[in-house]
Amino acid sequence: MQYREWTKGDLTRVPYWVYGDDAIYRQEQERIYQGDTWSFLGLEAELPESGDYKTTFVGDMPVIVCRDEGGVIRAFENRCSHRGSLLALQNKGKARKFTCVYHAWTHDLQGNLKTVAFRRGVNGAGGMPDSFDTADHGPRKLRVEVYCGLIFGTLSEKTPPVEEYLGDEVASRVKRVLHKPLRIYGQYTQALPNNWKLYFENAKDTYHSSLLHTFFATFKVSRLSQGGGVIVAESGGHHVSYSLSHSGGQDDEFKKEGLRSNQEENFLLNDKSVLNIVDEFGDGCHVQILSIFPGFVLQAIHNSLAVRQIVPKGPDRTDLVWTLIGFTDDDEALQKLRMKHSNLVGPAGYVSMEDGAVGGFVQRGIAGSNDAESVVLMGGEGAESSSSRASETSIRGFWKEYRNHMGL
């Protein structure tokens, strides 16, 4: 199949074939997810004790993350090297070892193969050859770093330390939110009918919210002219979008910006306290969306804090794993407010339910248009930080990093 050529160095045009091509998807697994990047694996708070484990993915590679006997976080491929079966079948649990249900090859909490059933055969017959060494037959192990309670893993020895990978500005914005011990409020998975890159673009799209999300304009919560900005890492792959103001503004200010609203339909809030905010970080910033390439989002929307993991499931399917978080010292009032604000986001969130649909609209809209391309010109042609959120600079940054890893 012939595709439109992707002009070298151009970040303002994105060919549609990149969102649905099977060969591209396979290359992404090798060059990005199993390449020189850090993938988010989970939260340290999910594994409080030795033997605690969870299963997750790096791209489409299944992974076990666990805390070993010495309290160290480990991660290794969730695949027995004998015949390829999963080692851990549950999403989470507690274990002293991982034994493959197929042929009982047993592994310790560090991912080392320890025993093989019938290794010496039965009654002197069969079994493994004398040259067989268990040390040569364990699952692939990932390098692991824990940063501000976030667990990251990589298969590459070339990937720089996490803080260096993020860069100073983005790292400081992670620390701004995750500055004390975390508690977990809940988790759910949202199935998206679109390519993983469309959701990551959406998370980096700093100006769609006041246009797409009618809740903001209807209840005069947010508009683009309020203070804020966009931070783009030097690599381009990571970003922070933030708003310095969360409410206020007269009707005419919102009308002036032409924002889509349901006010004319007389929508009302029975409980207006959903708009109340505690300035827990003391800097007047009430919305911050932070992304880390290739598939992590840290959300601080009002007092709803969450981490989102983007998990590709094929060229046109994605799982979005949400984990709602707070801090261990949250008082009862803040706990209730966090849960109330959690209604703003997610698959049925007052604000962001549209994000779960719009990626599918794009995936369906570009079908059969491999020779066409999207236009990413808002705010210029580069991928630099900006004081204006009326920009697609962080999306261009994503494509800068993406093309660097993919060699496109």
Give the C-alpha separation, 358 to 348, whole Å.
13
- Report pLDDT for 221: 66
- Report pLDDT for 1: 44
Q: Is the dihedral of CA 265, 266, 271, 274 positive or negative?
A: positive
Amino acid (one-letter) located at 168: D
Does the pLDDT value for residue 249 go beyond 70? no
Does the pLDDT value for residue 292 go beyond 50? yes
Q: How far is CA 241 from the centre of its chain?
A: 15
Domain membership flag for residue 194: yes
Domain membership flag for residue 175: yes
Contact 153, 294 (CB under 8 A): no
- Report pLDDT for 213: 67
Q: Are residues 252 and 110 in the same domain?
A: no
**Strands of 106-107's sheet in order across:** 98-99, 106-107, 113-115
- Report pLDDT for 56: 98
- Report pLDDT for 256: 52
pLDDT (tens digit per residue) in 149-172: 999 999 999 999 999 999 999 999
For residue 239, give the H/E element and its range: strand 239-243
- Collapsing DSSP to helix, strand or coil, 332 comes out as helix
Number of Cβ within a 10 Å radius of residue 258: 10
Q: Are residues 104 and 134 in the same domain?
A: yes
Q: What is the mean pLDDT of the chain?
A: 91
Instruction: Please state the domain count of the chain.
Output: 2
pLDDT (tens digit per residue) in 211-246: 776 776 676 665 555 678 999 999 999 999 998 764
Q: Are residues 398 and 298 in the same domain?
A: yes
Residue 83 belongs to what domain range? 39-146
Tokens of 321: 């794993």
- Report pLDDT for 274: 83
Domain membership flag for residue 20: no
Average pLDDT over residues 386-401: 93
Give the C-alpha separation, 351 to 215, whole Å.
6
Q: Are residues 278 and 346 in the same domain?
A: yes
